[in-house]
């Protein structure tokens, strides 16, 4: 029998999208979220066409139209000279080539739009302040035939799946801050996503319409001390960051030195492992495969997972659906992880490798760089 009523743990991007995708298939769900209210946590997100296509299909994209920005391009810039190394066109090019927009927005904006869509959907019910500690869900108002763990990198649902992935510290730290758009230096460029590349570190910058500021995230190696998105770096951690950017262009080093309200996120990823128990329990999003942000695809993969899972459980007996879902999604996630690892190698390159990287990028026309991304951005989930 296909699923009729699902319990979803976690009202992040994965859980809310899953509830909507199930509802489109006539499957009701209850979402259990530990937070008493959903506040403005997180930072900016780049949402690529493979994910915006699904958001459009679920009626969520139209709710975001006033909030997002569509960058004209995604630039790779030398952090030491501020010279442009390469650019992948986005904007109308993305819509034409990949059939949906490439946009940037705040994570809380996306979560709010998903929440509103869930609230408007009679088949979805959200329970806030409901922390789930194990596999059994006695809190659901009626029997559930599938349990979906969308509870992020520190998933509790994962504990009820033998051989499931575990979280591990990646060795990288993300330092996040904002720069007021009105006073931003011109090299940040308001119409681009910019990835500034330097030895052993990189920094991604893009404007957010909602806040009138640039979202800035610097990533470099460091030691883990907390799991929270709101922790401020200690003076020692801040000095460690500045030392990594010491040989960068002085204007960029200054931007970091003067940054206010910086937050500090140790980056965790999950190891490989089983996402489902062969019966009635499955993981999606970061709970299944938290990955480094080097390909900016974590949220997009959560959205694809949610959408494709709904297709499987609506059309097959549940145990078979979960196995087919895992077999179908695993190769794509593995390929994306490889792409992320390659980006990390290329972004943080030093010495001769860096020189080689810059030469190769200079020789590649934008169309050819875009073609490399067809398998990511042109993917049609559920097709």
Ligand X SMILES: Cc1cc2nc3c(=O)[nH]c(=O)nc-3n(C[C@H](O)[C@H](O)[C@H](O)COP(=O)(O)OP(=O)(O)OC[C@H]3O[C@@H](n4cnc5c(N)ncnc54)[C@H](O)[C@@H]3O)c2cc1C
For ligand X, the binding residues (CB under 6 A) are 9-15, 32-35, 45-46, 131-132, 150-152, 156, 174, 217, 265, 267, 285-286, 293, 296-300, 302
Compute the least distance from the CB of residue 132 to ligand X, in Å: 4
How many Å apart are CA 287 and CA 167, to the nearest integer? 9
How far apart (Å, rounded) are the C-alpha atoms in residues 85 and 283?
Answer: 39
For residues 202 and 223, give the distance between their C-alpha atoms in angstroms, rounded to a whole number.
17
Element (H, E) at 343: helix 318-347
Smallest distance, Å, CB 363 to ligand X?
27
Cβ nearer to ligand X, comparing 27 with 283: 283
CB of 81 to ligand X, least distance (A): 25
Min CB(95)–ligand X separation in Å: 18
Q: Judge residue 18's burial from the number of C-beta atoms within 10 Å of its C-beta, 0-12 exposed, 13-18 middle, 19 or more buried.
A: buried
Q: Which is nearer to ligand X, 299 or 358 (CB)?
A: 299
Tell me the sheet residues that pair with 179. Answer: 214
CB neighbour class for 223 (10 Å; exposed up to 12, middle 13-18, buried from 19): exposed
First to last CA, the chain: 22
Per the CB < 8 A criterion, the answer to whether 299 and 51 are in contact is: yes
**Whose Cβ is closer to ligand X: residue 27's or residue 157's?**
157
**240 contact partners, CB below 8 Å, separation of at least 6:** 222
Residue 107 vs 274, nearer CB to ligand X: 107
Coil, strand, or helix at residue 182?
Answer: helix
Alpha-carbon distance 306 to 81, whole Å? 42
Spatial neighbors of 252 by CB under 8 A, at least 6 apart, are: 79, 82, 187, 196, 203, 245
Nearer Cβ to ligand X (198/293): 293
Least spacing, CB of residue 35 vs ligand X, in Å:
5
Closest separation in Å from C-beta 351 to ligand X? 27
Closer by beta carbon to ligand X, 233 or else 358:
233
**Of 100 and 150, which CB lies nearer to ligand X in the complex structure?**
150
Minimal distance, residue 8 CB to ligand X, in Å: 9
Q: How far is the CB of 286 from ligand X (least distance, A)?
A: 4
Query: For residues 291 and 358, which CB has a smaller minimum distance to ligand X in the complex?
Result: 291
Q: Which 3 state secondary structure label does DSSP give 5?
A: strand
Tell me if 336 sits within 8 A of 297, measured CB to CB. yes
């Amino acid at each position: 029998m296909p699923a009729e009523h699902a319990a979803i743990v976690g009202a992040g991007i994965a859980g809310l999208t899953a509830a909507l995708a199930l509802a489109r298939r006539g499957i009701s769900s209850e979402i259990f979220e530990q937070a008493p209210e959903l506040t403005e946590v997180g930072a900016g997100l780049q949402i690529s066409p493979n994910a915006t296509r699904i958001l459009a299909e679920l009626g969520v994209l139209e709710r975001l139209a006033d909030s997002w920005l569509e960058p004209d391009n995604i630039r790779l810039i030398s952090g030491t000279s501020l010279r442009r190394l390469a650019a992948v066109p986005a904007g109308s090019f993305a819509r034409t080539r990949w059939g949906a927009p490439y946009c940037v927005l705040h994570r809380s904006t996306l979560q709010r739009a998903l929440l509103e869509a869930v609230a408007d959907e009679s088949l979805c019910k959200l329970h806030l302040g409901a922390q789930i500690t194990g596999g059994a869900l006695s809190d659901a108002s009626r029997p559930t035939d599938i349990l979906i763990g969308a509870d992020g990198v520190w998933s509790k649902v994962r504990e009820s799946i033998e051989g499931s992935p575990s979280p591990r510290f990646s060795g990288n730290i993300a330092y996040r801050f904002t720069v007021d758009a009105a006073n931003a230096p011109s090299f940040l460029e308001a119409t681009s996503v910019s990835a500034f590349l330097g030895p052993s570190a990189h920094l991604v910058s893009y404007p957010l319409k909602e806040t009138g500021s640039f979202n800035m995230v610097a990533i470099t190696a460091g030691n883990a001390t907390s799991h929270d998105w709101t922790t401020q770096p200690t003076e020692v951690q801040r000095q460690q960051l500045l030392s990594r950017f010491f040989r960068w262009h002085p204007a960029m080093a200054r931007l970091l030195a003067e940054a206010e309200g910086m937050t500090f996120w140790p980056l965790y990823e999950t190891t490989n492992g089983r996402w489902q128990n062969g019966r009635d329990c499955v993981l999606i999003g970061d709970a299944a495969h938290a990955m480094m942000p080097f390909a900016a695809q974590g949220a997009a993969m959560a959205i694809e997972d949610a959408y494709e899972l709904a297709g499987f459980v609506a059309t097959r007996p549940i145990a078979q659906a979960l196995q087919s879902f895992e077999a179908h999604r695993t190769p794509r996630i593995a390929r994306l992880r490889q792409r992320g690892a390659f980006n990390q190698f290329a972004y943080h390159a030093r010495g001769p490798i860096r020189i080689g990287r810059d030469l190769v990028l200079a020789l590649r026309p934008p169309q050819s760089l875009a073609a490399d991304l067809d398998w990511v951005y042109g993917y049609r989930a559920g097709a």
